[in-house]
Amino acid sequence: MEDNKEIDKTATKSKRTARFSDMLLQVTTDLAKTKTLDEALETLVKITTSTIGAERGTIFLNDASTGELYSRIAQGNFRREIRILNTKGVAGWVFTHDQGVIIHDAYKDERFNKAVDVRTGFRTKSILCAPLRTVSGEEIGVSQILNKIDGEFEQEDLDLLEAMTEQAAIAIQGNIIVEQIEAARKQELEFLDVVSQVSSELELTPLLQKIITTISTMLDCERATLFINDEKTNELYTEVGEGLDEKSVIRLPNHLGIAGTVFTSAKPVNIPHAYADLRFNPSFDKQTGYFTRSILCMPVFNKEGKTIGVSQVLNKRGGSFNAEDEKRLAAFTSQISMGIENAKLFDDVQNQKNYSESILASMHDAVLTLDENSIIKTCNTAGLRVLKIPVLSEILEQPAKDVIGDKNEWLLQKLKTVDEPDEFLDAELLIGDETLSVNISLMPLIGQKKETLGIMLMIEDISSEKRMKSTMSRYMDPELADQLMAAGDSDDIMGGKQSVGTVLFSDVRSFTTITEELGAQGTVKLLNEYFTIMVDCITDEGGMLDKFIGDAMMCIFGTPVPHEDDPDRAVRAAIRMMTDLKVFNEKRSTEGKMPIDHGMGINTDSIVSGNIGSPKRMDYTVIGDGVNLAARIESACKQYGAHILISEFTYKAVKATYRTRQVDYVIVKGKTEPVGVYEVLDFHDDVSYPNLVEALGLFNDGYRSWNEGKWDQAIKLFKDVKKINPNDKSAQLYLDRCDHMKSNPPKGKWDGVWVMTTK
């Protein structure tokens, strides 16, 4: 009997060995026929599931660069990848422990992830999972079989699965290598294609678009942006980027944020978890609704090794950016930097060309260029007007003598003999039947090799209208002079005129302290920089700078040329003066310099304007009580802690709506009648005055209570304002006034008028 049992065991073992051999031979044969990794994986799944008799099977391969197990699933003509961490689930446990497992009831095993069944609708009952190893023992993935059809998974099934996967590992690993080589080859071809495009693309915006599209594809990321350094503004900027709107332009200081860190340090940064890094600024995510997970940022160098920008990619699909991504991005940016430099140079040249053409087109003087044979090559719009030529085509490529005419022989002779710059002032030029008084400048055009290329001819018309404009430009902005000339009544205006105008006074705060700290030269330099910015704010709104008074400015809106909205223009100019001053101070702060502050007063009233002075020195200016009141209101800014104060007359005259509050009904120094004073706060943002709208409502309610003599109610409201903004000086002023009035009640009827005892 014992002998028979031994014989049966030997026979069973022999059959199992033969079955193993047949299966392994089938695996080897079938996999040898496959041509791709997908075919090899699909073939192995079919063999293992059919041989062991299970419902479903999956092969997971390990991606060492991301720490994930991935499998590929066919969906029609497409294949998609499923990825899981190589430490999670049953497959992750088998991979990390390098040990096969048999699970008879999946839902009782804590390693099993039930969410997968919920998502797919498949019911997992039992699991057979084995490591996928090469012959040398290297673990490259796992093979997983689900739900044995007859009976339960046994150790024999696990042994067979391990044997088949080990046999198949050689073919699979070979296919993986082939696929990686093909992918690398494809990427290199794409890389070379883009590099060749870069070398042929001269326009910056299309070039940047090509670059970021390639980067996104090459690194398999959600967004990519290439920032270029603007040396004029010290900003990193881009006009194109994956995920940006077509018209989006991003500009940021080149020392802030992740991009700024990379630019200034010239070292790459790889951040796997953005929100865990203190350098990351999440505000852009909040504005756009985008969620940044991972960041790879690389400096871009030119051929001299100078940093000219940074490339930034966000959210690597399937994980974080790895060392290979860093190498690829670094290699790519090193190849495209020359193209960027060339495109920037071309862009600068094109901008300079457009800039020069715009300047010539806007000039009032005629500008012509002639070649060495006195053939006209270019002519601006003013040249056509001065020479009375209807269209440009009638003058280009024409000899100068045919255009200028024989009546101007003296000029034709000068054109033939010009070898150095020359000018002729107040000369006569005969154009048709008209004699023009002109200033003429001749400039030889010299090439890079000192060869003569031709001549530039400039003609300035200084006939009577020009003479008048030149005289008036000494008094006011040239644009205002143009308008006066067009109006034709400049003599009356310059001689004296009474009208309604808006006067703006501004004054620098703590000027004595600034002078002591900066010294004479530093103070003059600061004032010149400050006045340059402030005057632009005035003239851009059509106002006129009347005069500088030390560190103060007096500006006029409404004379000599009135506008329907002069009060609004003055208020808008004041608001912009505040916002531009903030930018100016931020720049000074980055340079380690002290900031400056100023206050402004605006009043709209009847004024007298005209030439005032002596025969030796005259100024076009304005005088009157309206001017004095504007000056008094400006001085009051310190008392209320305000930057922009306007009179009730300006408040009633403005047409637009501004964020204002009445801060007083006051009799100013030197006056007998009270005037309402309002503060304009539109220049504030959430940082400089948080919850401004709420505070304005409380302050206005408090001011009404003050006017009604309800001191306690006013105190409560002004304290509420102080809770919102402890730095609100006007609220504190009225708290002090209310306490004073409670201790010193007014005699007779209270009208809310406060008498100012200082200027």
Q: Residue with structure tokens 């290199």?
A: 188
CB 737 within 8 A of CB 709: no
Q: Give the Cα separation of 84 and 87 in Å (integer).
A: 8
Q: What is the DSSP string of 684-705?
A: --TTTSTTHHHHHHHHHHHHHH
Averaged pLDDT of the chain: 79
- Residue pLDDT, tens place only, 265-292: 999 999 888 888 888 888 878 877 888 8
- Residue pLDDT, tens place only, 364-402: 788 888 888 888 888 888 888 888 888 888 888 888 888
| Cα 147 from chain centroid (whole Å) | 57
Query: 495 pLDDT band (50/70/90 cuts)?
Result: low
* Range 36-49 burial, b when 16+ CB lie within 10 A, else e: ebeebbbbbbebbb
CB 640 within 8 A of CB 727: no
- pLDDT surpassing 60 at residue 204: no
Kindly list the domain boundaries of the chain, sorted by start residue.
2-182, 201-355, 363-462, 477-683, 685-759
CB 143 within 8 A of CB 48: yes
Residue 74: what pLDDT?
A: 47
Q: Residue with structure tokens 């605006």?
A: 602
- What percent of the chain is helix, strand and coil (3-state, nearest 5)? 45, 25, 25
CB 569 within 8 A of CB 541: yes
More confident: 139 or 677: 677
- The yes-or-no answer to whether 2-182 and 363-462 have a common fold is yes
Q: Give the Cα separation of 199 and 339 in Å (integer).
A: 5
Q: Which residues pair with residue 29 across a beta bridge? A: none
Can you identify the CATH homologous superfamily of domain 201-355?
GAF domain (3.30.450.40)
CB 80 within 8 A of CB 72: yes
pTM exceeds cut of 0.85: no
Q: Which residues pair with residue 667 across a beta bridge? A: 755
- 712: three-class secondary structure by DSSP: helix
CB 510 within 8 A of CB 532: no
Question: Sign of the C-alpha dihedral, residues 607, 608, 610, 614?
Answer: negative
- pLDDT surpassing 50 at residue 246: no
CB 112 within 8 A of CB 124: yes
Q: Residue with structure tokens 């008209």?
A: 434
Q: Give the Cα separation of 241 and 258 in Å (integer).
A: 16
- Residue pLDDT, tens place only, 220-242: 888 888 888 888 899 988 755 44
- 587: three-class secondary structure by DSSP: helix
Q: Give the Cα separation of 57 and 80 in Å (integer).
A: 16
Domain 477-683 has CATH 3.40.50.2000: no
CATH number for the domain running over 2-182: 3.30.450.40
CB atoms within 10 A of CB 439: 16
* Range 161-193 burial, b when 16+ CB lie within 10 A, else e: bbbbbbbbbebbbebbeeeeeeeeeebeeebee
Q: Give the Cα separation of 531 and 537 in Å (integer).
A: 10
Residue 464: what pLDDT?
A: 59
- pLDDT surpassing 70 at residue 205: no
Class of 363-462 in CATH: alpha beta
